[in-house]
Structure formats: structure tokens, C-alpha cells
Amino acid sequence: MNAAAALFSHYRRHPLQLGALALMILIATMLWSGMDHLTDQARSSLGRAEQSLSEGSRVIREDGAPLTVADFARLRRAGLCVMPWLEVPDPDGVGRLIGIDPLAAACFASGSQSGEQPALDGEPFIDIARAARLAGAQGDGAGSLVLLAADSVSADRLPAGYALAPFARGPDTGELGASFLLNLDALGVLVLLITALLLRAVYQLSIVQRRDSFALLHRFGVPGGRINGLLMIEVLVLAGVCVLPGVWAGAQLARALGEGFGRSLEGLFDVTLYADGSQWWRPILVMMVVVLIACLPIRTRRHWLQRSRGVGWLALALLAIGMVWVAGSPGLVWTFVAVGLVFVGAGVLVPRLMAGIMAALSSSVDDPLGRWRYRELGVMARQLALPVVALQFTLALVLAVQALVTTFEATFEQWLDQRLAAHWYVQVPEGRSGDRAEDWLAHQLTSDTAAWHRILRGTVMVATGAGSSHRVDLLAVSPVGPLMKQWTLQSSLADPWQRLAGSQGVLINEQLALRYGVGVGDSLALTLNGRTQSRKVLGVYADYGRPFGEVLVNGADLPADFQPEFESFSISPGGRGKAWLVSGLQQIWQVPEIEIRENSDIRTMATRVFRQTFVLTRAMTFLTLTLAGTALLIMGWVFITSRAWYLQLLVTWGLSRREALGELMRVSLGLTTTVSLLALPLGVWLTWVLVHRINPQAFGWSLPMAVYPGFWLELLALSTVIGLGIAALMGRQLRPGRMVALPANQSGGGER
Amino acid sequence: MNARILVTAIFFFMAGCSDSGDDSGFAGLAESVPSPSDNGGFLQPGPDVGISLPEDFGPHPRYRVEWWYLTANLVTPSGAPLGLQWTQFRQGFRPRDPAEAPEPDSWSLDAAWMAHAAVSWRDRHWFAERLARADTGAAGAEAAPLDIWLDDWELKAMSGTTWQLNVRSHKPAAAFRYDLTLTLRGKPVLHGQNGFSVKSDSGEGSMYFSLVDIDIRGTVTIEDNTIPVTGQGWFDREWSSQFLKRGQQGWDWFALHLDSGDKLMAFRLRGEDQTFVSGTWIPEEGSPQALGNEDLSLAILDSRDGYPVRWHIEVPGHNLDLQVAAPPGRYVNEGRFPYWESPVQVEGNRTGVGYMELTGY
């Protein structure tokens, strides 16, 4: 047998350990590369949304009907440079594909100022024939035709029946988009960190078990350098074999989570997630490096961190600095750095704290068995420091994310109830005005049980006290009636709705208030169609899930030449039937079809979008928890195997097998429960950071802070299951015939 | 013949290629196509196909390439010469029966269209190119009444002998338009054998006929300067599936209006080791006569910018000894496949005007 075969024979004796290690690398790679894939796509989609193409024009039909190929031909034959644009969901992946006609796009080069054809090659751009086939296969509504207009197309050159409209594929998300990506990156880094800790822990144990093999090989003349080299080859091969399927599985994970993630992006930033060719080599490279770093320097002496007393104080200082820093950090990056400091501090402190507590407890009891139990727990806390810290981080993360999502869910439901107060919603068709419909509804809906208002949306320039101007969304409502008055305001003057109805001011959303430091009673200078008016802020309303500032005005205050980007009516008909509304509006707008959307449909859609928004976050935390739990289980098992000789002593001391098993169970449950309890304060603190620091900085809106002790119990139960699992595995070691007397120097960890 | 087949350029454009090099000839026109016996292959032209009018003014979706091509030698009121070209090409990617047009909303890419327009005046040259996907309605051709269009460029029959051509280029660098009325005189001239014009010793060729006597009136607007014009035009109609033989790099083509009222069409195809020469002598009175290698010679006298711009053309059998020259200037249609397209002046033992097309240089 040569040196390599002797070294690697360890895994022949411990195939499950090899399998566990491989499984961990695979799952970790899947988690991180899936996350990375989606983040990459989001980054690319946000980038594309900000490209110049998003600021172009499109041609629409004045009768509001959808565009067809016949419209395209008609416009082209009128000498207008228009190109078709057909977006469809990518059936084989994540995001959307854009069908274009390269032949029709050619005129954009000759008609544009720059003389350059827009770069439309490669995914997500595909030939429009393929997009049309996909749209056909996916059913109605899978894609609607847009006709983009070149710079040379002006409104006066359009044939009768057509108009120009802005083609905006997404507003400027600016820093918020970057913050969103930073959030994802941070979650990815945390997953990577937890993974590295777990890998290192599991591999370290296998190395401890192989110390005698190394010593024997050395005695037979194999130099230490060669042993190190062989170990490096072992890690490289293991990483190579596991990382590749892991990256493949990551792509599948990204695909599975893609729809929800795409909706997040749409819901948060109005940005469509486009399919994109991903760089397959990057996750492979990153994971190979992580595995190497986690596993290779393993044979160095025990780290000074575990020995030096000063380290404890340093960790405590880091923890304190991080906590203070988070409270006052100026931006998201600094918040993450501060959170990192707290995690490092907690990571170093927790195993020491646990060992210290156990040492103190063991000194305080007279019962030898109790003393043994606490001592054994202290040893476990030290020996399993890395997986214990990883499990603690994961539990804290899961707890915080759950609190955030549950709080958001509750708040969102409440918010929906307020916002969706009407029974029906009707969008004014493109090319039509709501003026006559407003008059008609005012005459028709006079009963006390009926309520309605007209909504116009656009943008407005807002000048704040600091002298700077910003473009924000404009929401105009008229008449200001009962449908609005249930809105919860975060702060307001007395009778804000009456004052709004009386045109005495405006309301603003929380995002605008936070971002520009505007409060109730302040004056805002609003510029619309070149005219500026000063308006008092009557109140601030919560506006969850939107990144942009918004001003709510009375529709009656809008200038007559205001051109809305969107117009609709919210109607509670008070006993009138749908047919009445349809025929009335058809007559007014002269369109063949009127689409009335039910309150329940919109609510269902909004809730679905909301739920999918957090699919990714939840899935990632759940999978990380699974990974951490499995790792601790494996670690506990391997660790206990190495301490079998000590466990045997319990029986030697006169305990029955059943009693010895009971003691083992108490030890393992003690470990996992302590980890969970120590994770609680970290989790609650992290919830606070997410709700009060990261969320406003990343998305522009905040939520009320809430904690959910019921979920703490669930996590505690999960820890108990892991503890019982470890105990069950330990119990196998106490079976008759399994006991092997080991000299102390062969016992794993070397502690007694 | 003409700048033909830049159509194929579209194919290369779609395939992401930009070079016409190697054996595939100018604009890929020597690309092999499946034989008609292959399932789904394009038809090949031949001497037995014959010309049917007016049907053959319309498209031939079972053939791979075809074009409608007009050149005009016009004069302004001051007597200054003004040359003009309009060509529309169709490139098929899949052969199909004429009655089996795909649904427009499928955006099917069975074929693509390309149109070229150029004006040559006072030693300057303006050129524009348009592209379109077939079967959307933005581009197409119909035989009767004649209508060939791509976007807002259109050649349309107003009556049996009157056509209208409207072209406008909005390109900032080449803003021009022309609105012309064409009055057709004389019968269509069938080239080669019964309209089958051979292009190589091995028999590749195309179906080819021309209207060689067209009176043209109208206006040409160049950079906001509208000029009334009159003159004579030459209209070609040609289609094929295998236009060039492999190894043929390009061609030099001439359509000449002699002051005597006679016309001459002549071309040579340049191969690796030999050239193939052909033409048609169209006397003012009497029947057109096909000219072969032994009847016709074309020799280069001078070159400019790499293009042979002065030629010696001889047809001994009809006592023709001509010097044909392009006016000063650069007359390259700078489209996806650049080629030379210029009016020419004829001198020698006859005088006249005409058009010259040089490809593959």
C-alpha cells in the first residue's frame, strides 16, 4: 500500500463521513450558486432597465386596442421607423425573453442621432418568430406586442388613430436597486461564511481522527510536505467532484425560485427580470476557493483565538462597537460591516461563554454525574465551536427573517384592506379621458351606499426646503371621499382628509418623508407642467413595498393640461349592477370592451405577488438551517464516536445502558438548547436591524417591529430534534460489542 | 443583371456574418442550395421554365433569390445628367408554395426583403438601404396589378403601361427622395435561351427578362432641392436559386442605351481561372439576339479606388467598338455588401448612356 492509499483509506473505514462531507459541499454550492445566479440576473436586469432604450418612445393605438402585426406594417408603410418588441416568459429558465426583429431594427441605426443600432444581441434578445411561438404556446396574455419608435418618429408624422407614449421598462432605481443587490450579496456572503465554518468543522474532525495515520506515515518515512500535498489533492478532488453537480443543482434552484424572485424585482422596482447568460465558471471558482480555504490550513496548531484570554475581551469590544455602529450607520454598507462585527464578536464569545458557564456549573454541583455532564458539555462547546457558531448564526438569521416576513405579512394585509376599499376597479383605456366618466359617475352614484373616486397617476417635481428638486410619483384622487378615509396615517394634522378635499394641502408617503426629511406642516413646492405651487403637508401615509416617493393631491387641483400616465376609477356601486357600469362606460369611451377588475382578484394577485416576494429569502434561510442542522448532527455523531471510550466509562461506573443513554441525551439536548437560547438575543437584535436599519436603507420604507415567541418555540423544538438525533447516534456507540477501549491519546480532541 | 443578390446579404446578416469572402461568391450567391429533388429544396431555373407574364412580375417563393431592378439615365432642365437606381430583393430561407403564406402574427422568417436606392448627380452619390421581414405586410410584391413595396418605398402600376416609383430616404447622411412616373414602351426582352440566362459553363443561371425602353418623368429631391427630371430607364426582373457557380467572385454588368435607339446588355462573371461573358443585343428594329463568349469582349481600360471604371466593349458581329466610362466620383453603394453602381457615358463608334454595376471587388 502506498502513502496515498494509506491516507485515503480513512474514508474506506468511514464512508458516511466522506458522504456527509461531499453532501455538505454539494448543498453549500447549490445554495450559494443559486443565490449568485439570481443576484447576477437581477443586477443585469436593473442595469438594462436603466439603459437608454428604456427612455424611448412607443406607438400606441388611440382606441386602446392591442397592437397587431397589421399596425406594424401600416406604420412602416407610412415611412415610420418602428420595431416590434415582444416580451415572453422564458420557458427554460428564469426571467423574460424579448423577441425583436433585427431587420426592422436596422432603421434605428440610420434614424438615430448616434447612428448606432441598439445592442440587441444575445439573451434576453431572441428572434421575434421564436418569441411569437413561445407566446402562442404559453397561451393568451403571455406577451403583448410593443412597437418601439426611433428618434425620427414624431407625433405629427403618425397616421390618424395612433399616438406616442413613453417606453419605460423601469424607473431609475438608483441607490435602492444597488441596495437591493447588496442585500442579496450580503445574504450570499453569510451563506458562504456559514458553509465555510461547517465544512471546516467537519473536515477538522476527520483530520483529528487521522492524526495517528499521519504519525504512522511519517514514521515510515513519508515527509510532512508530501502528506500535506496528498491532503491538498484530496481536498481538490473532493471539491471538484462535488462543486460541479452543486453548480448544476444551483441553476435548478435558481430556476425554481426564479418566478418568485422575478416578482420581487417587479414588485419592488418595476423592473422585469430578464433571462441572461450566466457565467458558469464563477460559482465553480468561488466554491473551489472556499472549500480550499475552509479545509486546507487545517493542520496548523490550534488557533490563538481559542487560547488567548485577551481574545474574549476583544470579541466583546467588537460586539459592542458593532451594536453601537449599527444604530448610527450612515449607509447600508456600513450597516453590514457593523453586523459583521457583531457576528464575529458573538462567534468568538459564544463557545467560550458556553464552556465558561459549564465549568462554573460543574464546580457548583456535588453530584459526580452532574459534574461529568457539565464538563462533557464544556468540551463539546469547545470541540464543536465552529458548527455551534454556524448553527447559532443560522438560527438567528432564520428567526430575524421570519419576524420580518411575518410582520410584513400582517402589515401588508392591513394596508391592502385600507387601499382596496372599493368593489370594482376600471382602467381608462389608452387614448381616452376620464373627464366625462367622472361627470357621469357623479350623476349616477348619488346613494349613500355608493362611493367612488377617480385616480390619476403621473410624476411631479418636488422642491424641498434644502433647495433641491426631485421627480416623484403623483397620485391624484377626486373626489376625496369615503374610500380614502380609512387609510392609516403615520402622522397628520387634524382632519387631514377634509383639508385635502378642501385643497388645503397634500399628503406624502413615508418614502418621500424619510428620504427628503419632510414632515407634517412643512411646505412643498410642487412643479407640474411648468407651474409651481406651494402646498402644506397634511399627513404622511405608509406605502409598503414601493421604493419611490409619492405625493397625494386632490384631483381638482391638477392643471387642466395635465396628462396622466395612468388613469382609473375605484367604484363601490351601492347596489348597481356590473352591466350598468359596462354599458355606461362603453358609451362614453366608445370602446368594444370594458374590463372591470374585482376587488378580490386584485387582492389575490397582490397577496400572491407579496408571498412570492419572500419565497427566495425564506427558501434560502430554510435551506441554510437544514444545512446547519445536518452539519451539527454529523459533527455530534463524529465527535461522540471519538469519545466512545469516555462514554463507556459511564457503564463501567455502574450505570445501566438505559441510564447512560439518558445522560447522553441530556448532554446533547443541553448543547442544542443552549445554542438555541444563545441564538435568541442575536436573532432579536438582527430583527431590529432588519426592520429599523436595513429595510429603510434598502427599500425606503420601514415596518413596525414585532417578535414572535411562538416561532422561538418552533426553533427550540427543532434544536431538540437535532439534540435527540445526536443522542440516538450516540446511543449506537453504547451498544454491546461496539465498545472499544482506546488509550487517551487516541481520543478525538485530546481533552479528558 | 444588377447588384443582385445582395439579398443574400440579409441571410448573412441574420446569421451574424459580415464577410462575403471564400467560395461563396459576392454576397454568398454561389452558396450551394439543395437540389429540387431534395425534400423541401428550392427550384432551379432552366431553359424549359419559360417566362409567363404578368405572373413573373410577382414573387417566386419556390426560388431562393430574386430582384426587381430599375436604373435610369435622366437629365435635369439644365441638361445635367442624373443617374438613379432602385432595387428590391427577396431572399428566401425556406421554399414554399405561393399560396401558403404564413400567418402574419407568427413573424415567420421564411424570407427577407431588402431595397436599395441611389441617386448620382454632379459627381456625387447618395445611397440608402432598407430591410424587412417577409409576410408581415411591411414589404412584398404582387404581379398584377404590379406592386412592389418595402416600407414607404413603392413601385406600383397605375395602368397597363404606366408605373409610379416613390422612394424617400430619411437618413441624415443621405436625405433624398424621388417620385417618378414610368411609361413603358416596347415588349419585354427575354435574355438567354427563352429567358434562361446562363451564368457559367456548368450551366448555373437565372430567369431574366427586361423592359429596356421606359420613358421617365418626375422629380428628384436631394437635400431639400427638388429637381424636375426626364429620361430613359431600364427595368430588370431576375430570379434564381443558384445564381453563381462556386468560385465565381462577382460580376461586371452593363445596360446601355445607344443614341441609335439600339440597346446592349452585357456582363462578365469573374471566376478563379476563367471569366464567363454573355449579353443581349437589342436592335431598335428586329429581335433581340443573345451574345456569347465568342460574340462579345469586355476589357478594362482604367481603374479608380480599386474598381474598373473605364471599359472597352466590342461586339464585332454588330460593328460595336465602345468605350464605356463612369463619371468622376465614387459610386459605391455602401450597404451591407458594398458594390459599384454608376451611370456611364458611351463613346466610340456609337454614343449613348447607360448603367454599370461592379461587384465582388
Mean pLDDT of all residues belonging to chain B: 87
pLDDT at A639: 66
Residues of chain B below pLDDT 70: 1-40, 243, 245
Q: Which residue of A has its CA nearest to B107?
A: A129
DSSP-derived 3-state class of residue B237: strand
Across the interface, whether the CB atoms of B107 and A102 are under 8 A apart is answered no
Across the interface, whether the CB atoms of B106 and A99 are under 8 A apart is answered no
User: Mutate which of A59, A71, A110 to test chain B, going by most B C-beta atoms within 10 A?
Assistant: A110
pLDDT in tens, A192-228: 777 777 777 778 777 777 777 888 888 888 887 888 8
Q: How many CB atoms lie within 10 A of CB A402?
A: 22
Domain-wise residue ranges, chain A: 1-50+182-249+277-289, 53-169, 301-419+605-752, 420-604
In angstroms, what separates the C-alpha of A79 from chain B's closest C-alpha?
5
Helices and strands, counts by H and E, chain A: 23, 16
Q: Which DSSP symbol is given to A690?
A: I
A119 at the B interface (CB within 8 A)? no
User: Mutate which of B90, B133, B177 to test chain A, going by most A C-beta atoms within 10 A?
Assistant: B133
pLDDT at B118: 96
Taking one residue from A and the other from B, the number of pairs with CB-CB distance under 8 angstroms is 78
The residue with cell 430588370 is B236
B274 at the A interface (CB within 8 A)? no
pLDDT at B309: 95
Residue B345's φ and ψ, nearest 5 degrees, are -110, 135
pLDDT at A260: 63
In angstroms, what separates the C-alpha of B152 from chain A's closest C-alpha?
5
Across the interface, whether the CB atoms of B170 and A128 are under 8 A apart is answered no
Across the interface, whether the CB atoms of A77 and B137 are under 8 A apart is answered yes
Note whether A484 and A572 are within 8 A (CB).
Answer: no
Across the interface, whether the CB atoms of B152 and A103 are under 8 A apart is answered no
pLDDT by 10-residue block (mean), chain A, 752 residues = 76 79 83 80 64 63 81 94 86 72 80 46 76 77 78 86 70 51 71 76 75 81 82 85 88 76 61 61 83 68 55 88 87 85 89 87 87 85 78 81 76 76 84 85 82 87 70 87 83 91 91 83 84 89 75 90 83 85 88 82 73 65 72 67 71 82 84 86 89 75 78 86 81 60 42 46
ipTM of the predicted structure? Answer: 0.89
Residues of B in contact with A142 (CB under 8 A): none
Of B10, B108, B171, the CB nearest to A129: B108
Across the interface, whether the CB atoms of B151 and A128 are under 8 A apart is answered no
Would residue A545 be called left, alpha or beta, if left means φ above 0 and alpha means ψ between -120 and 50 degrees? left
Name, in order, each residue with C-beta under 8 angstroms of A26's C-beta and a sequence gap of 6 or more: A242, A243, A245, A246, A249
Beta bridge partners of A424: A571, A598
The stretches of chain B forming alpha helices (DSSP H) are 7-15
Residues of B in contact with A101 (CB under 8 A): 107, 133
pLDDT at B1: 44
Q: How far is CA A589 from CA A476, A581, A687, in A?
A: 21, 12, 51
Across the interface, whether the CB atoms of B132 and A68 are under 8 A apart is answered no
Of B10, B107, B129, the CB nearest to A132: B107
The stretches of A117-223 forming alpha helices (DSSP H) are 128-137, 174-209, 211-219
Q: Which DSSP symbol is given to A484?
A: T
From first CA to last CA, the distance across chain A in angstroms is 34
B111 at the A interface (CB within 8 A)? no
Residues of B in contact with A107 (CB under 8 A): 130-131, 151
Across the interface, whether the CB atoms of A132 and B105 are under 8 A apart is answered yes
In angstroms, what separates the C-alpha of A125 from chain B's closest C-alpha?
14
Q: Whole-prediction pTM value?
A: 0.55
Q: Which residue of B has its CA nearest to A73?
A: B138
Distance, in Å, from the CA atom of A521 to the CA atom of A326, rounded to the nearest integer, reads: 31
Sign of CA dihedral A30, A31, A32, A33: positive
Nearest to A404 by CA among A716, A699, A623: A699
Note whether A664 and A637 are within 8 A (CB).
Answer: no
In angstroms, what separates the C-alpha of B344 from chain A's closest C-alpha?
29
User: Residues of A201-229 as b/e, b for ≥16 C-beta within 10 angstroms?
Assistant: bbbbbbbbbbeebbeebeeeebeeeebee
Would residue A505 be called left, alpha or beta, if left means φ above 0 and alpha means ψ between -120 and 50 degrees? left
Across the interface, whether the CB atoms of B138 and A76 are under 8 A apart is answered yes
In angstroms, what separates the C-alpha of B136 from chain A's closest C-alpha?
6
B14 at the A interface (CB within 8 A)? yes
Distance, in Å, from the CA atom of B281 to the CA atom of A376, rounded to the nearest integer, reads: 111
Residues of A in contact with B105 (CB under 8 A): 68-69, 132
Determine the length of chain B.
Answer: 361
B131 at the A interface (CB within 8 A)? yes
E strand or H helix at A649, and its extent? helix A644-652
A110 at the B interface (CB within 8 A)? yes
A72 at the B interface (CB within 8 A)? yes
Across the interface, whether the CB atoms of B106 and A77 are under 8 A apart is answered no
Q: Which three cell numbers stand for residue B346?
A: 458611351
**Omega within 30 of 0 (cis) for the link into A479:** yes
Across the interface, whether the CB atoms of B138 and A104 are under 8 A apart is answered yes
DSSP-derived 3-state class of residue B90: strand
A196, A202, A203, A207: CA torsion to nearest 10: 150
pLDDT at A700: 66
State which amino acid sits at residue B254: F
Of A77, A121, A133, the CB nearest to B151: A77
Domain-wise residue ranges, chain B: 7-358
A531 at the B interface (CB within 8 A)? no
Across the interface, whether the CB atoms of B108 and A69 are under 8 A apart is answered no
Nearest to A106 by CA among A78, A87, A84, A74: A84
In the stretch 11-70 of chain A, residues with CB closer than 8 A to chain B read: 68-70
A79 at the B interface (CB within 8 A)? yes
Helices and strands, counts by H and E, chain B: 1, 23
Say yes or no: domain B7-358 is CATH 2.40.370.10: yes
